[in-house]
Amino acid sequence: TSRTGTVIRRAETPLFWVGALTVASLALWLLYRLLSGFRIWVLGNGQLLSPKLGKWAVVTGATDGIGKSYAEELARRGFAMMLISRSQEKLDDVARSLEEQHKVETRTIAVDFGKTDIYPKIEAGLSGLEIGVLVNNVGVSYPYPEYYLHIPDLDNFITNTINVNMTSVCQVTSAPTLDFYIFLVFRSKGVILNISSASGMYPVPLLTVYSATKAFVDFFSRGLQEEYRRQGIIIQSVLPFFVATKMTRIRKPTLDKPTPERYVAAELTTVGLQSQTNGYFPHAVMGWVTTRLVPSSIVIFLGAQMNRRQRTGYLQRRKLREQKNGVSFKNE
């Protein structure tokens, strides 16, 4: 008994210091996380994006949703705007609005990002511009959640989705060629925002192709950031959850489903502070929960269940519409 007591007393001091160091480490880690969160989500980095980076900002998919909100916010900050999207009519409307509201110069390039022969036209349009910010936003999703082999016109769907969501990001980033090098690398300043999606953080069944292409955008962005960060270029991967846009078909914004304007205003304050961001504090919480707390197998399962329900609802509504219009319906 005496010997046991002696051993315990000898172990008390080392155990005390191990416990103390553990508690201190956890306290310091928590303090660091709180201060980092305060720096990102409260103080922000809102003054970084200005025409000091370069006169022009380029936004793809600039006529609707998040892309349009990026164009409006960057124009408000004084950038001349190069708008790239498919519809010349919509481009003209957005350009006219920006010129009237913010008194900035605008230019437009109308191209279909589903095609691959468009990049000489884009390169010619960007030639000679002092580009400070590039927002690779253009994207396309499913018309409704669907099993891979049941996707209507699957071959064209695959080609179009890859061209719009993946090829565009690679090609537009390199389109200015020598001008890109001069204005970004040589000047050691410039920002590229690649709009991915929270769907790219883990597989989302029944939106599998979309999810996979957005995962590519995230990996591509983070790889380029490491390649060029020493030159002072910021390349950010942006992974929003649901935003109330035409693509998501969400009409009524909520705290966790913000308007594009609210989302973009929040996201731009994270530029230079996070190379990979959900862009909006409620989305950051959701991202932390779904990647750190909940096993990925559960996230994938729940995503599949949600999309199966949405698929069933969509097909039922379509069947009723087609029956009402006297059109035969094939249940897929």
- Catalytic site residues? 210
Q: How far is CA 28 from CA 21, 36, 41, in A?
A: 10, 12, 20
d(CA 270, CA 275): 9
d(CA 138, CA 314): 25
Measured over the CA atoms of residue 99, residue 263, residue 139 and residue 217, the dihedral's sign is positive
Measured over the CA atoms of residue 24, residue 28, residue 29 and residue 34, the dihedral's sign is positive
For residue 31, give both structure tokens.
């303090």
Q: Please, are residues 109 and 122 in contact by the beta-carbon 8 Å criterion?
A: yes
For tokens 């030639």, the residue is 127
- Strand intervals (E) in the chain: 56-60, 80-85, 106-110, 131-136, 191-195, 234-238, 276-277
Q: Which of 232, 233, 230 is nearest to 221 (CA)?
A: 233
Partner residues linked to 133 by β-bridges: 57, 191
Q: Please, are residues 135 and 57 in contact by the beta-carbon 8 Å criterion?
A: yes
Q: Which of 211, 219, 331, 209 is nearest to 275 (CA)?
A: 219
